[in-house]
Amino acid sequence: MDMRSGRRDKMKLMASSFPPLAQAIQNYLECRPRAARWLEWLAGREYHLAAFPDRPQPVVVIAHRDRTPARAAQLARAVEQDWMEVPLRCREMYGDVLARAPGLIVVQLRRKNVCGCLGHRHVIVKEIPFSEPHDAFGDATVGEMDIAFDPVVRWLALPLTDTALDTQFIAGSRLKEFHDQRLRFRLLSVLLHETHHMVAPQAPEDEVRDRSLTFYREALGSYVENARASLSFTIDRSFSRLGKE
């Protein structure tokens, strides 16, 4: 009996709305030789697919340890849901980058990097199922990066803004929701930052960083503005002080 059959059945349901490339990759991962899948199971390796809803490519493959599925789910949700909820100007900011990106982006989601960096673009694809061409990839090229989850959690992308918002939310009931949303914006910002490096490896770091920080600032600002408009200032103390400090 394949110990992962139940998990694969669940993934098939999730993949039903995926674009064609994502469905092809899902089928490829499920139909590889049993020995290869067992070795991954023994190593605790899992793959979680995510797709941007407004475009067929790139498809994001999140490679992670199976003991940390919630971390992969946060990144997947950032791609599949939060991307469409940021202002249009934020999505347009990366329209050219995503249009030129590899059709398949493999993200090695790590706990941390030895160097302390939030992420890196990889020159060579190291994740074994994607390290060599396969018919399932079609004409799509493959790129790879890593993202270090724990440093992203601690990262103050905009120190003054992040600290001020933390202070405003800390007394209210929406603090966890705010932290989760902010984390997903950070993860999405790092993903877009490294994708920018993939398509423009010669671009100055300042230029790449300025764009990703602008994306993060405007996405977070829009979220807070919408929260102010939709919640009662008097009932939920999380927002009763916003704009007053």
Residue 177 forms part of a structural domain = yes
Mean pLDDT of 128-152: 95
10 Å Cβ neighbour count for 186? 26
**Do strands 142-148 and 119-122 pair parallel, antiparallel, or not at all (unpaired)?**
antiparallel
Sorted by sequence, the CB contacts under 8 Å of residue 188 that are 6+ apart come out as 75, 78, 79, 82, 83, 215, 219
- Domain range enclosing 23: 5-240
pLDDT tens figures, 10-48: 444 344 567 899 999 999 999 999 998 898 888 888 999
Would you state the pLDDT for residue 171? 53
Average pLDDT over residues 150-173: 72
Q: Which amino acid is at 120?
A: H
Buried b / exposed e along 126-158 (16+ C-beta atoms within 10 A):
ebebbeeeeebbeebebbbbbbbbebbeebebe
Contact 98, 55 (CB under 8 A): yes
Locate 208 and state its tokens: 């790449």
With bands split at pLDDT 50, 70 and 90, how would you rate the model's confidence at 124? very high
Give the chain's domain count: 1
The pLDDT score that the predictor gives to residue 178 is 84
8 A C-beta contact, residue 103 and residue 59: yes
Edge to edge, the sheet with strand 104-110 lists 45-51, 59-65, 104-110, 142-148, 119-122
On the question of pLDDT at 5 being above 90, the answer is: no
* Residue 157, pLDDT score: 82
Predicted confidence band at 175 (pLDDT cuts at 50, 70, 90)? Answer: confident
pLDDT at 212 exceeding the cut of 80:
yes
> Is residue 110, in this structure, part of any structural domain at all?
yes
- Residue 173 predicted with pLDDT over 90: no
Q: What is the mean pLDDT of the chain?
A: 85
pLDDT on residue 10: 43
Q: Are 168 and 245 in contact (CB under 8 A)?
A: yes
First to last CA, the chain: 60
| Cis geometry, peptide bond prior to residue 201 (ω within 30 degrees of 0) | no
The letter for the amino acid at 25 is I
- Report the percent of the chain where pLDDT is more than 90: 65
pLDDT at 233: 44
Query: What H or E segment, with its residue span, contains residue 221?
Result: helix 205-230
How do residues 64-121 score in pLDDT, each as one tens digit? 987 778 999 999 999 999 999 999 999 999 999 999 999 999 999 999 998 989 999 9
Measured CA to CA in angstroms, residue 111 lies from 63, 89, 147, 185, 198 at distances of 12, 32, 8, 18, 22
Residue 245 lies inside a defined structural domain of this protein: no
State residue 12's pLDDT score: 42
Residues 6+ apart with CB under 8 A from 189: 157, 212, 213, 215, 216, 219
Give the model's pLDDT for residue 167: 58
The residue that leads in pLDDT, 71 or 167, is: 71
Distances (CA, A) of 8 to 29, 48, 75, 150: 10, 11, 20, 28
pLDDT score for 49: 96
State the DSSP code for 58.
Answer: P
Q: Is the pLDDT of residue 239 over 60?
A: no
This prediction's pTM: 0.85
Where is pLDDT greater, at 168 or 12?
Answer: 168
Whether 240 has a pLDDT exceeding 80, the answer reads: no
Report percent pLDDT > 70 for the chain.
80
Helix, coil or strand: residue 51? strand
pLDDT at 133 (0 to 100): 92
